[in-house]
Amino acid sequence: MKPPPMRRIGIFLFVMAFATISAVSARQQTKTTSSPAAKPTMVALDPSEAKSLGSKSAPITIEVFEDFQCPACRNFYETTVKQLIDDYVNPGKVYLIHRDFPLDMHPYSHQAARLANAAAELGQFETVERALFDSQDQWSANGKIEEAIASTVPGAQMKKIRDYQAAHINDINAAIERDRTLGVKRNVSQTPSIYVTSHGKTEALPGGGVDYKLLRNYLDYLLRQ
């Protein structure tokens, strides 16, 4: 039995639409394999590696573009990153890299990023990052960052960080700018923006932070591959 004429037109149009979408995807795939710029990006590691946690030889690398004054970044840090460090970074499954992406809308985020970078060079990144996010509400209101994190970072340690920052301010600004440039290159438009690299391929996760349970499921899937 032949289908009615409108149905036949519909079947024809569906086949055409499907073929068009497949052709477009095939063309895009050809482009991505032929053009080096469009290839899935490999992680270009920061030579200093000071703002990273975990083992560099971990099977998965996670890069997080963050702004210390961004509430979504704090939320992501508090609800996801802390657990991620305990369950995946410390056991050597994930290499976690912090990338600075201070947004101009936040008046103190550059200041916080400079402090974190100076701390990173002194091997204190994890402590200062945690202190910055934990006390974000406090220093976001008045810009008194050192005062806000004083309970976690003692005076002597803070002095060292302050001195290092003063002596290497150009290098620190350059390091922040390098991260920002990398973010712009990857079309980062909001923070936190998360990139997961595994088996030589980098995937951008949906922006704005990720629930820990969903991230865990994805990481377990990657580890099983």
Partner 1 sequence: MVTSAVTTESQSPPRAWPRALLLLGRVILGVIFLVAAFTKLYFNGGWHLGDYHFFFGMAINSYNLLPVWAVELLARGLPWFELALGAFLIIGIGLRWSGIIASALLLIFIAAMTRAYIMGLEIMCGCFGNNEKLGPWTLVRDSSMLVLALAVTIGAFLIKKRSAAISS
Q: Which residues bind partner 1 (CB under 8 A)?
A: 6-7, 9-11, 13-14, 17-18, 21, 25, 28-29, 32, 38-40, 72, 189-190, 203-211, 213-215, 217-218, 221
Considering beta carbons, is residue 172 or 210 the nearer one to partner 1? Answer: 210
Considering beta carbons, is residue 71 or 91 the nearer one to partner 1? Answer: 71
Backbone angles phi, psi at 50, to 5 degrees: -70, -25
Shortest distance, position 77 Cβ to partner 1, whole Å: 16
Shortest distance, position 6 Cβ to partner 1, whole Å: 6
Shortest distance, position 26 Cβ to partner 1, whole Å: 10
Considering beta carbons, is residue 41 or 173 the nearer one to partner 1? Answer: 41
Can you tell me the distance from the alpha carbon of 108 to that of 103, in angstroms, rounded to the nearest whole number? 9
Considering beta carbons, is residue 142 or 217 the nearer one to partner 1? Answer: 217
Shortest distance, position 208 Cβ to partner 1, whole Å: 5
CA dist list (Å): 82 to 85, 129, 153, 158: 5, 11, 18, 23
> What is the chain's alpha carbon radius of gyration, rounded to the nearest angstrom?
22
3-state secondary structure of 160: helix
For 175-220, give the DSSP string: HHHHHHHHHHHTT--SSSEEEEEETTEEEEPPSS---HHHHHHHHH
> Hey, which residues does 203 pair with through a beta bridge?
196
Shortest distance, position 187 Cβ to partner 1, whole Å: 8
Considering beta carbons, is residue 148 or 183 the nearer one to partner 1? Answer: 183
H-assigned helices in 77-168: 82-84, 109-121, 125-134, 136-142, 145-149, 155-167
